[in-house]
Amino acid sequence: MEPLHGRIRDYAWGSRTVLARLQGRPVPSDGPEAELWLGAHPGDPSTLDRDGAPRNLVDAFAEDPGRWLGVDVIDRFGQRLPFLLKVLAPEAPLSLQAHPDAEQARAGYAAETTDPELTHRNYVDPYHKPEMLVAVSPFRALCGFRDPKLSADLLDAFGVPALAPVVAALRGGVDGLPAAVRALLSWPSSERAELVAAVLAAEVGEQFAGSAELARDLAGRYPADPGVLVALLLNHVSLAPGEAIWMPAGNLHAYLHGAGVEILAASDNVLRGGLTPKHVDVRELLRVLRFEVLADPVVSPVPVAPGVVTWPVPVDDFALHRVRLDGGVRSARLDLLGPRIALCLAGEVTVADAAGSTLLGQGGAAIGRADGGTVTVTGEGDLYLASVGAPR
């Protein structure tokens, strides 16, 4: 294992405290810091120390793919790291968004690559982007569609006549979801502000107070965006530290507030439907959305060894383990597939494999090659280990 240096993305929705405090820098930071990236995504690859100069992972892997990635990973995913590890720090809501599945990503990327008149790309790479986020502080998110009939009751309670066709569609259950979402996202531009204002002016019962508060918060940022109402069709989830949410392809979602460790397939394909100043492509979003109820998006940790837990997911692009060492458990050994990335969130731990060891304090990261064998963690602290998942 050797030290790894990540990259920070300064999106406007980011916190000015979370990442700065994690890395021991002055708080608040000079500007918003939304994501810390650890991986080899070509959009912002992490770096290694080489002869007094930084060497990015993309180049390092290209020089010796066999040792870094391993034959199994290359056979399954090609000569690339199939996962990306992040720390997310949303201070404000992210856009309503979904990600394509593998087939949609390949087809969309190929079609856009050959279109000479294209002015904006939805598909920046040919890969899918399933993702899982583990809360490290109380975390709020919108995740997948809830029962449409519950959403119909809520929208009906606002008493806005213009919403009657949407309510009627939702009364039809899952079969009516596409028509309801399409109607809201395609609402005439000249009437959107009036629609949102009418919803905010309504008085609803106590059972709908939480949803009304969410609408007020979102509308305060985007007063003429029908995405405010689409957000009310989703599960509003509050995670305790250690709980996770799993977002498969095609599920509409938006992270609202908190801090979390996210692991995802190494892609940057995002289809947005609202709550953002960025490009929105309603037609393409509707094409990839899964209009189904996501009954329970929360994933609880599963113990696999003393001090070690994981969160099972149905993809093989990645796996994530947390190692928590204290006075009772002072060491852990993990056999991981392919290259692995370690991130220390608290305390001080040493991570070691056959290639060497690295001491990590809070905010420190390290990477190991596929040929490094068993990873040993010692010390006292809280460590996340990302690796490739087992074949399915």
The rounded distance, in Å, linking the Cα atoms of 167 and 163 is: 6
Whole-angstrom CA distances from 124 to 31, 112, 144, 188, 267 are 27, 9, 24, 29, 8
Residue type, 63: E
Q: Any idea what DSSP says for residue 137? A: S
CA-nearest of 244, 243, 246 to 317 is 246
Tell me whether residue 146 is one of the annotated catalytic residues: no
Q: Are 382 and 347 in contact (CB under 8 A)?
A: yes
DSSP string, 200-222: HH----GGGHHHHHHHHHHHHH-
Q: Is 331 exposed, middle or buried (0-12, 13-18, 19+ CB in 10 A)?
A: middle
Query: For the residues of 298-360, what is the DSSP string, one character each?
Result: EE--EEEETTEEE---S-SS-EEEEEEE-SS--EEEE--EEEEEEEEEEEEEEEEETTEEEEE
* Among 302, 285, 316, CA closest to 387: 316
Single out the catalytic residue among 80, 272, 324, 340: 272
How far is the CA of 292 from the CAs of 96, 145, 146, in angstroms? 16, 7, 8
Instruction: Tell me the C-alpha distance between 71 and 370, whole Å.
Output: 9
Tokens of 118: 């294209």
How many other CB atoms are there within 10 angstroms of residue 71's CB atom?
Answer: 12
CB 96 within 8 A of CB 280: no
Q: What residues are labeled active site?
A: 272
